[in-house]
Each structure stands twice: as C-alpha cells, then as structure tokens.
Homo-oligomer: A and B are copies of this chain.
Amino acid sequence: MNEDVLPTLEDVAQDAGVSTATVSRCLNDPSRVAEITRNRVLASVARLGYLPNFGARALAAKRTDTYGAIIPTMTNAIFARGLQAFQDELARNDATLLVASSSYDPMIEEQQIRTMIARGIDGLLLIGTRRSKEIDRLLIRRGMPVVIAWTIGRADPHSFVGFDNAAAAAAMAQRAIDLGHRRFAFLSGERRRNDRAADRVRGVKRALKSAGLDPAELAIEESSYSFEDAGIAFRRLIERDPRAGVVMCGNDVQAVGALRMAHDMGLSVPGDVSITGFDDIELATVVEPALTTVHVPHRAMGRRAAEVLLARVRGDGPPQRVKLPTSIVERQSLAAPPT
C-alpha cells in the first residue's frame, strides 16, 4: 500500500516531473508558476497526501506561523473567551496557537516565555505588565513581537490592546457615589502580582478623592479568584466595617463569592449592602441578584490582539496601543444606600 515514510517535496517533484523548487513555489506563491504545471503539481500533492515538514520549513523560512499566548488561567471565562477569539483570528490567518497558563505567577510566566521562544514562536500574547526587566530585555533582544492585553501600559516597545482598568473602576465608584454611597470597601485580587488588580483599586481611590471622600478610609481585602476565598474576604471586610454600603469586587467571580457569603450572613443585597463586579461574564447574569458590573470587551480584545500581532510580524509599522471602551452594566446588585 503506502510507503512507510511520509512523502517529501522531492517525491512530489518526481511524481509531477518538475523540480522541488517548482513544487515549493506552487505551495507558497502559486501565482509564480504556470497554471498548467501548477495543476499537475497540485494533483501530485493531493494524490501522495503530501504535507510540508514543519521543521524543515521553519528552518529554511525562519518562521513558524505559530504564536504563543500565556494567560494567568484558562478557568476564568474572561481569559477563555479572549483566548478563543485570539485563536480564531490566528486560524483565519493560517497560524496556530501555543498556550500556557501561569497561575498568576510571574516566575512561571517567565519560564514559559523562555520555552515559547525556544519553540520558535513568531509572536507572543501576554497579559498585564508585571514581569522582570530581564525577561523584557530578552524579548526585545530577540526581536520578539509582543502584544500585551487586558491593560494599557505606558509607552513601551510592545503593543497594547486593552482598556483602562483604573478608569473603569473609577467609573463604577462614581456611579455608586452618585447613588449616594459614602462608605466603600474593596475586595481585590492580589495586587502585588497583578497590575490590573492594582489599577482597579487605584481607580476607586481616585474617584473617592475627587468626590471629597478620604481614600485612606477604603477598606481593602485581597483574595484569590475563587468563590470560597472571596466569600471569606467579604466577611472580613464586613467585620472591619459593618456599615460599608458598597463592596466593590475585583472581578465577577469574587463578586459572586461575596454575594453568596452575604446570603449566608443574612445580609440582603442590595438592601443591606451593595456589591459590584468587574468583567461581565455570563455568571453575572445567573446569580440572584444579577450583578451590576463593568463590561469588558474580552472577545474584541482577543481578536484585536491577534490582528495587531499579525500586522507587527508582517512588518506593518510600529507597535500599536489599542484602547478599547468599557461600560457599566446596571443590574440589581447596586442600589442607593438605605436612608
């Protein structure tokens, strides 16, 4: 039946009665070969079931059409959605996606970046800006095109496709202030390892300050992004300030954890205390009360990130900074404080 070994360019060339160069051209730049020969070659390709050898192609062409993405976790819907959009856009451009998750650990991320570079990726998607100078230098030295998503960094050699975390959080705080709230608490993610979490807290403090409130009075607790931990942190916040009118949360998962704990503590939401989320994942709509939260365009971010990265690799101009809009989705978990 079939040979045991896979067909090579050489085999196709022989079968079609042309040189390997012609076969290669047929595959990579069909317009440069006469239609009649091209048809003959493509027929041979199909008949032999030829597929180019990836290693050989990468070696000769110095590119892999492979892109890397390192995200904090795959199990949060926000990254999953963004990643899916990123991959879809890559696929549309005949590129494939290499994935790793860092568990929000910069050291792990650094190792994964090295691995991916060694894997010959053409470009890299990273989340946020918290990483060592060394690894940044390595990226730059290797000329690796990088797009950073989920945030808008300062000027940088890298591209950015994200949104203003501080401004989005500030807007939500302002909304609560407008409703008459004066006592705020914040249930945050780990700010030390996560610049988006830090930015969100910063945004809220800014909003408080410009409303004439004292940012120093903002009670802050940090928790991991699990329902369980978030619930515990929520209880600590309430214990610290039983009169807090709004507990703003770093993301929707934490907000749902807070919601559940509030329920367990016999607190009504938003009657006794308001709770706000961040991200607007589907989860926000199925809990009771539904979460008032910040809508973030995750899919658009993933897609745009891929576009920016692909353009960069193709050499279309300098790094870009794409700032996407966020909005507040009003549902039931935020209301005016009891009078």
Chain A residues engaging chain B, CB cutoff 8 angstroms: 2, 6, 49, 51-60, 62, 64, 66, 73-75, 77, 80-81, 83-84, 87, 91, 94, 96-101, 112, 114-120, 138, 141-142, 226-227, 256-257, 259-260, 282-283, 285-288
Given A75-B77, A256-B286, A287-B287, verify A97-B99 contact (CB < 8 Å): yes
Closest chain B residue to A282 by CB distance?
B227
Q: What are the residues of chain B within 8 A of A117 when measuring CB–CB?
A: 51
Q: What are the residues of chain B within 8 A of A118 when measuring CB–CB?
A: 51-52, 54
Sort A-B residue pairs by CB-CB distance and give the 10 closest, nearest first: A55-B58, A54-B120, A55-B59, A74-B80, A51-B118, A99-B99, A74-B84, A75-B80, A55-B55, A56-B59
In the assembled complex, the Cα of A186 lies from the Cα of B288 at a distance in Å of 25
CB of A298, distance to nearest CB on chain B (Å): 10
Q: What are the residues of chain B within 8 A of A112 when measuring CB–CB?
A: 91
Closest chain B residue to A231 by CB distance?
B286
Tell me whether B286 and A6 are in contact (CB under 8 A): no
A sample of 20 cross-chain residue pairs with beta-carbon separation below 8 angstroms, ordered by A number, consists of A49-B138, A51-B114, A55-B60, A55-B120, A58-B59, A66-B98, A74-B81, A75-B81, A83-B99, A87-B99, A91-B112, A91-B115, A94-B115, A96-B100, A96-B116, A99-B99, A226-B282, A260-B286, A286-B287, A288-B288
Given A91-B100, A99-B97, A120-B54, verify A142-B84 contact (CB < 8 Å): no
In the assembled complex, the Cα of A312 lies from the Cα of B112 at a distance in Å of 25
Give the oligomeric copy count.
2
Closest chain B residue to A78 by CB distance?
B75
Given A100-B97, A286-B260, verify A64-B54 contact (CB < 8 Å): yes
CB of A10, distance to nearest CB on chain B (Å): 15
Tell me whether B84 and A101 are in contact (CB under 8 A): yes
In the assembled complex, the Cα of A239 lies from the Cα of B87 at a distance in Å of 40
Q: What are the residues of chain B within 8 A of A60 when measuring CB–CB?
A: 55
In the assembled complex, the Cα of A47 lies from the Cα of B126 at a distance in Å of 26
Closest chain B residue to A101 by CB distance?
B84
* Partner pick for A96 among B53, B73, B119, B283, CB 8 A cutoff: B119
CB of A304, distance to nearest CB on chain B (Å): 18
* Partner pick for A98 among B96, B141, B283, CB 8 A cutoff: B96
Q: What are the residues of chain B within 8 A of A116 when measuring CB–CB?
A: 96
In the assembled complex, the Cα of A59 lies from the Cα of B138 at a distance in Å of 25
Q: What are the residues of chain B within 8 A of A100 when measuring CB–CB?
A: 87, 91, 96-97
Tell me whether A84 and B73 are in contact (CB under 8 A): yes
Q: What are the residues of chain B within 8 A of A51 when measuring CB–CB?
A: 114, 117-118
